[in-house]
Amino acid sequence: MRLCRYLDSNAPRIGRLEGDTIVPTRLDDMYAVMRGADLTPDGAPVSLGDVTLLAPLRPGKLLGIAKNYADHAAEAGLQVPKEPIIFNKAPTCVCGPNDDTITPRESTKLDYEIELGIVVGKRARYLTKENTRAAIAGYFLANDVSERSFQIERSGGQWDKGKGCETFGPIGPWFVTRDEIKDPQNLDMWLDVNGERRQSGNTKTMIFNCEHLVWYCSQFFVMEPGDIIITGTPPGVALGMKPTPKFLQVGDVVTLGIEGLGQQKQKVVAARK
């Protein structure tokens, strides 16, 4: 099942997708879906192309996983980590799949990262390997927008301020339930900048798979329904380009997609005054 949030008369609604048609529901809370809420239609269907899509989820926690693709680690000349490397993205960075990317003030190295996202479906702490799969509600497409000078040169030993700026977390276009994705470890993924292919990969090159990541995070954090984990990126980020990185500039258009999870499009705009 594919579920989305969209604007209807300037108010957010939740709908179920049937092809390119949105069937409105009575839900006012996406997390209710994870509790088995009724998806009875409520109102006339609308065309997907006629609405503004919002972020399908508003997470309490947004955890990122670094250096989780073997080919990306090789591109950056990095050792494969022995355990998942976790960082936080501020939940306030979450935005819709086609919203503009706002360049932060003093930004000089704006970058992109296509990622598979995981939605936690129930309260999870100290999961066992055997019961982890049942804690996954579904998956989504994400762009882990990053400001590398904030992340690396001004980091103070942590990455959060390079990862959590406004509009640095476009997710969606929809939330896809677990049963629809037969094998999350074999999904093709791509990202273009101004029509130029920058990233092309497959989730099969992930070092730590989705179930391992959910299990691992639950050993350190209490994961609540609707919390999300983004799982790392394949090669092709601007930071890894040699000899000259091609960081994003105002006016650039980023498009990206993952097999079965839809596509996004963002335009880079100048910092707000």
Backbone angles phi, psi at 245, to 5 degrees: -65, 145
Instruction: Give dist(CA 261, CA 24) in Å, integer.
Output: 20
| Whether domain 55-269 has CATH 3.90.850.10 | yes
Q: What is the pLDDT of residue 120?
A: 97
**At which residue do the structure tokens 């932060």 appear?**
104
What residue spans in the chain does CATH classification 2.30.30.370 cover?
1-54
77 has pLDDT over 90 = no
Q: What is the pLDDT of residues 148-203, one digit of tens each?
A: 999 988 877 788 999 999 999 999 999 999 999 999 999 999 999 999 999 999 99
Report residue 226 as tokens.
Answer: 């609707």
Contacts of 132 (CB under 8 A, 6+ apart): 124, 211, 212, 214, 215, 218
Report residue 61 as tokens.
Answer: 């926690």
Residue 65, beta-bridge partner list: 86
The 3 state secondary structure assigned to 126-180 is CCCHHHCHHHEEEEEEEECCEEHHHHHHCCCCCCHHHHCCCCCEEECCCEEEHHH
Cα→Cα distances 77→67, 82, 83, 150, Å: 11, 16, 18, 21
Helix and strand element counts for the chain (H, E):
5, 20
Secondary structure element (H or E) that encloses residue 213, with its range: helix 210-218
pTM above 0.85, yes or no: yes
pLDDT band at 27 (very low <50, low <70, confident <90, very high): confident
Instruction: Give dist(CA 128, CA 218) in Å, integer.
Output: 9
Q: What is the pLDDT of residue 235?
A: 93
Instruction: Please name the amino acid found at residue 251.
Output: G
**At which residue do the structure tokens 């269907």 appear?**
45
- Percent above pLDDT 90 for the chain: 82
CATH architecture, range 1-54:
Roll (2.30)
Q: What is the pLDDT of residues 150-161, one digit of tens each?
A: 998 887 778 899
Neighbours of 103 (CB within 10 A): 21
